[in-house]
Each structure stands twice: as structure tokens, then as C-alpha cells.
């Protein structure tokens, strides 16, 4: 899709040393200016710690996201830092995500406390010389010297599991794009071009911050969303740890905060960068969905990806994005994990504590058939709230009520900001899954004091800790993110 307006930018710079931290101040292209104003003939490009060197000058420029494009065909003769060709594989580049088997080619040191190196596949790595043609996208990474050395985004008490520090995306086009074009999704081989001038920024409300002292700055989330979020590993073992969460629950928190900030009464021009970055993430995710990828229910891993697509669709007035879950069912965890109890098998009209909308379990419910996607005999990963707590299946070892544990620790609490942002944008109908919104309302308004007591009486499991309780997000986020009450403050002001 093509719109109009805007400018692109280039600049001269020298390459960063391989061990230097990625910094946009050192980005640039080496070459001589071309006559078309926004692009240059260059022999080398530097982007956030990655250097691509070309066999011959190429026409290059930048999308509104700051990512670079070149006009192909072209040949890359060197990538810095150099990708290694033996164990441990680091600083990987991959051509045309997603990989056919869902595995990662960036860094072999995948480990989340358990060796996860089987999720790595060296066969997808690209080494110079790399021949590029129009339609290609090269994603190049910079590895950490020490894996698990950076704090997890949105969870300061933990470390990111990823050995990847940052990634940069190079897009190969058949011709120079409009100056205000967004980067096509790294999964989109047809290279759909959306334009910043087409954004309906007027659709973003301008509400007062309920508690200015508890409101993050736009800059905090611009720093997180400025660089590409690569989202094609099922468990985010290779997320760029410097700025992207490595767990879906934390993705949902980051997306929630960024989205809610855009609904406040900041100066409109000041909201433009974060709006652009969040829309770019939505474009990327939508391209992944169209390429066959998705984030179906799996505990807390698969939340947070739908809202950026919906926001991008609303602001770009793109029906494909707005209707993404209708066209591509069972791609989003939070929808599969929220269901009306009368829609699951068994003839139930209410849950054990009286709720009519329930948690759909670890693997959720198939959105086309209404049946649990867990087909095992004991239904451990399926909906369970229709049963009495004494009858809930246990995961053994370690011996936990898997469904209720994850309902309280890792899923529901991260959906509140998403649902609120969608409501404030008037996007409940666009979202096309009312059970999600009703479930979030239940989480925030249902007094679970008696339920917690009954669970303990029937089963011995205790969910009385503040961070496990319904009606809040702040107790979970306290100590994990500085402005930990922001979502609750927004809920109290704009939903209650």
C-alpha cells in the first residue's frame, strides 16, 4: 500500500568496533551523495553495531523507522562483527525469515536455565559473500560476550535468557521507496510498503495522565521499540536482549505501556516517533502472520503480539491488519486463553466460583471449533475452571496446578493494559474476540478473596500473595519496572 509525504535521511560514519555497544549515533552510510535528495550511493552501511560492506556502490536510504534499504541486486563482501563458522556460533545473519523449521540461526548459546541449543540451526546462517536481490531481507545480529548478562525488559529482577544483544535489518528493494515509507516486514517477500503520511494520528486520543508522577516518559519506550523486534523464535531464546523482552508476558507489558502512553495528552509531535516504532512492530508481526507464523497459546509465552497489529491497522486504515484474527485464527495466545464457559464441551453454564468467562488453559481453546487444543486424557493444559479445585490436574513434577498457577503468574496480569488500550481506541469490535475483554474485566473487578480461600481448603495451594491476586497489575510489577502502577492508574481513570 502506498501513501505520500515525508523525508529519509543518511549520514557519514565509521564502523563501530565489534565489542562496542550499539548506538544510533554511530549509524550511517559511507559513500557519495546521489541527486535524489534522500538516498546515497554507498559502499558500506553501519546500523546499531552491524556493518555491511558491498562489492560495488549501491543506492541506499532509510525508512521512517531508521532501518536501511538498498536497491538490488547487490553483493555483501563483509559483515561486521564477523559471523563465526564454528561452535560457539555468534553474530549470525539470516536471509529471509522466518526459517522453515522455526529455529534460530543467530547464536548457538541458547539457554534459559536449561540447554536450548537444539533451537539453533546453523544451516540458515549467511556468510559473505552474500548475494542479494530485490525482495530479500538480511537480518544481522550482534552477540553478547556473556549470555544472560542483561536485565530482562520489564522484569528488572531477572536476566534475559538471550545471547543476542541487538539486530539490524537490511531490506533489498527493486527501486527507491517513498521517503516516508515504513520498512516492509522482514517476513514479507512481497515487500508491502506502508507510509507514515497515511497514519490517522488523529485517532489517538489525548487524555490527561491520571498520575503524572507514575507515568513513564515517551523516551523510555522509544528506546525499547526503536530497533527491530525479531519475533520468529517460539520462545524468544534469541530476542535482542538489549531492548526486547525474552518472554511473551513481558512483551505484552511493554506493548501495553507503549500503547497507553500514546493515548495521553503529550504534544502530538512528541508522540510521532513512538507511534512510528509501534506501527513498525505491528507491520513486522503482520508480515510474519501472512508468512504462516503465529503465537498460539502456550502458557505465558505468546501474549502481546496482537495489539500492535490492531493499532497499525487502525492508524493505517488497513482492513487486513484490522481483521487479522478473523482471517488467521489460533495465532494469538491471549484470545485462545480466554473463553466463555458455555462454549467449551461439557454443558457448563458457569465456572466453579460463578464466573461465565474463564481462562482457557495453557494451550487454550481452538477458536474455530471451541474445543481445547490439549487432547491428552487428563486435560492438564486445557480449561479447568469449570471444575472444583480439588479436581484440577497437577503437573508432576513439580506438583503444581499448572492452569491456575499460570493464570495468576504469567498471563492475565499482562493482558490488562492491552485490553484497556484497545477499549480506549474504540477497537473492541476490531479485536473480534469479546471473551478477552470480558475476562480482563473479570480479572480487574472480581473479588477473589473467597476463591483463594476455597482453593487452599480444597487443594492446599495458596495464591494469597499480593502479586498473584486479581484486581491488579501493580503488585506484580513493583520492583520490576519503575512506574509500576501505571496500568492500574490508567484502568482506574479510564475503565472504572
Q: In this structure, are residues 386 and 351 in contact, taking their beta carbons and an 8 Å threshold?
A: yes
Predicted pLDDT of residue 32: 54
Same structural domain, 106 and 184: yes
pLDDT at residue 2, as a whole number: 29
Residues 346 and 280 in one domain: no
Question: Does 442 lie in the same domain as 358?
Answer: yes
119 and 29 housed in the same domain = yes
Q: Residue 148: which of 118, 119, 120, 107 has the closest Cα?
A: 107
**Does a structural domain hold residue 322?**
no
CB 40 within 8 A of CB 251: no
Let me know the angle formed at the C-alpha of 297 by 408 and 109, rounded to the nearest 5 degrees. Answer: 95
Residue 280 sits in the same domain as residue 348: no
Residues 227, 346 within the same domain:
no
Of 293, 316, 345, the position where a domain reaches its end is: 293
Residue 300 covered by a domain: no
In a domain? residue 314: no
The reported pLDDT for the residue numbered 439 is 98
pLDDT tens across the length of the chain (496 residues)? 322 233 233 333 323 233 333 334 468 887 654 434 478 999 999 999 999 999 999 999 999 999 999 999 999 999 999 999 999 999 999 999 999 999 999 999 999 999 999 999 999 999 999 999 999 999 999 999 999 999 999 999 999 999 999 999 999 999 999 999 999 999 999 999 999 999 999 999 999 999 999 999 999 999 999 999 999 999 999 999 999 999 999 999 999 999 999 999 999 999 999 999 999 999 999 999 999 999 999 999 999 999 999 999 999 999 999 999 999 999 999 999 999 999 999 999 999 999 999 999 999 999 998 899 998 878 999 999 999 999 999 999 999 999 999 999 999 999 999 999 999 999 999 999 999 999 999 999 999 999 999 999 999 999 999 999 999 999 999 999 999 999 999 999 999 7
Within-domain flag for 312: no
If asked whether residues 284 and 347 sit together in one domain, one would say no
Any domain includes 264: yes
Residue 116 inside a domain? The answer is yes
The residue among 155, 17, 130, 137 whose CA lies nearest residue 81 is 17
Give CA 241 to chain center in angstroms. Answer: 13
Spatial contact of 390 and 464, defined as CB atoms under 8 Å apart: no
Is residue 302 in a domain?
Answer: no
**Please, what is the angle between helix 268-290 and helix 248-261, to 10°?**
140
- Same domain as 390, residue 263: no
Residue 317 inside a domain? The answer is no
CB-based contact 372:365 (threshold 8 Å): yes
Q: Are residues 136 and 268 in the same domain?
A: yes
What residues contact 387, with CB distance under 8 A and at least 6 apart? Answer: 352
Same domain, 339 and 288: no
Domain that holds residue 356: 333-494
Cell triple for 334: 491471549
Q: What is the pLDDT of residue 476?
A: 98
> How many domains, in total, are found in the chain?
2
Beta bridge partners of 28: 46
Angle at the Cα of 267 from the Cα atoms of 264 and 270, rounded to 5 degrees: 100
The answer to whether residues 286 and 341 belong to one domain is no
Residues 361 and 464 in one domain: yes
Amino acid at each position: 500500500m502506498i501513501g505520500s509525504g515525508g523525508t529519509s535521511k543518511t549520514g557519514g560514519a565509521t564502523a563501530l568496533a565489534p565489542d562496542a555497544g550499539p548506538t544510533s549515533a554511530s549509524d550511517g552510510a559511507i559513500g557519495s551523495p546521489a541527486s535524489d535528495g534522500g538516498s546515497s550511493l554507498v559502499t558500506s552501511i553501519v546500523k546499531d553495531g552491524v556493518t555491511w560492506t558491498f562489492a560495488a556502490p549501491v543506492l541506499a536510504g532509510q525508512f521512517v523507522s531508521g532501518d536501511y534499504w538498498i536497491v538490488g541486486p547487490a553483493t555483501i563482501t563483509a559483515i561486521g562483527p564477523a559471523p563465526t563458522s564454528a561452535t560457539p556460533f555468534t553474530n549470525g545473519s539470516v536471509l529471509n525469515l522466518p526459517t522453515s523449521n522455526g529455529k534460530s540461526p543467530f547464536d548457538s548459546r541458547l539457554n534459559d536455565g536449561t540447554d536450548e541449543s537444539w533451537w539453533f540451526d546453523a544451516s540458515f546462517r549467511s556468510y559473505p559473500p552474500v548475494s542479494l536481490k530485490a525482495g530479500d531481507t538480511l537480518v544481522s545480529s550482534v552477540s553478547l560476550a556473556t549470555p544472560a548478562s542483561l536485565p530482562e525488559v520489564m522484569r528488572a529482577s531477572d536476566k534475559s535468557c538471550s545471547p543476542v544483544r541487538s539486530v539490524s535489518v537490511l531490506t533489498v528493494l527493486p527501486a527507491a521507496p517513498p521517503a516516508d515509507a515504513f520498512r516492509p516486514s522482514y517476513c514479507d517477500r512481497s515487500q508491502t510498503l506502508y507510509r507514515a503520511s497515511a497514519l490517522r494520528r488523529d485517532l489517538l486520543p489525548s487524555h490527561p495522565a491520571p498520575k503524572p508522577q507514575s507515568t513513564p516518559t515517551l523516551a523510555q519506550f522509544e528506546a525499547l521499540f526503536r530497533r527491530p523486534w525479531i519475533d520468529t523464535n517460539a520462545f524468544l531464546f534469541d530476542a535482542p536482549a538489549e531492548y526486547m523482552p525474552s518472554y511473551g508476558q513481558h512483551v505484552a507489558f511493554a506493548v501495553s505501556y507503549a500503547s497507553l502512553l500514546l493515548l495521553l495528552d503529550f504534544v502530538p509531535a512528541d508522540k510521532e516517533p513512538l507511534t512510528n516504532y509501534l506501527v513498525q512492530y505491528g507491520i513486522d508481526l503482520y508480515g510474519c502472520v501472512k508468512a504462516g507464523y503465529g503465537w498460539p497459546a502456550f502458557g505465558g509465552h505468546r501474549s502481546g503480539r496482537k495489539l500492535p497489529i490492531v493499532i497499525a491497522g487502525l492508524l493505517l486504515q488497513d482492513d487486513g491488519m484490522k481483521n487479522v484474527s478473523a482471517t488467521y485464527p489460533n495465532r494469538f495466545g491471549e484470545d485462545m486463553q480466554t473463553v466463555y464457559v458455555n462454549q467449551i464441551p461439557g454443558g457448563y453454564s458457569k465456572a466453579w466460583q460463578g464466573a461465565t468467562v474463564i481462562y482457557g488453559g495453557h494451550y487454550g481453546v481452538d477458536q474455530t471449533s471451541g474445543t481445547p487444543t490439549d487432547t491428552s486424557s487428563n486435560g492438564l493444559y486445557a480449561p479447568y475452571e469449570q471444575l472444583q479445585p480439588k479436581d484440577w490436574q497437577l503437573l508432576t513434577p513439580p506438583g503444581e496446578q499448572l492452569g491456575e498457577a499460570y493464570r495468576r503468574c504469567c498471563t492475565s496480569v499482562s493482558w490488562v493494559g492491552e485490553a484497556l488500550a484497545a477499549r480506549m481506541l474504540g477497537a473492541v469490535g476490531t479485536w473480534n474476540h469479546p471473551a478477552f475483554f470480558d475476562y480482563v474485566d473479570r480479572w480487574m473487578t472480581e473479588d477473589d478473596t473467597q476463591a483463594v480461600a476455597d482453593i487452599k481448603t480444597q487443594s492446599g495451594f495458596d495464591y494469597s500473595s499480593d502479586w498473584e491476586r486479581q484486581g491488579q497489575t501493580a503488585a506484580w510489577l513493583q520492583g520490576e519496572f519503575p512506574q509500576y502502577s501505571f496500568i492500574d492508574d490508567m484502568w482506574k481513570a479510564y475503565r472504572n
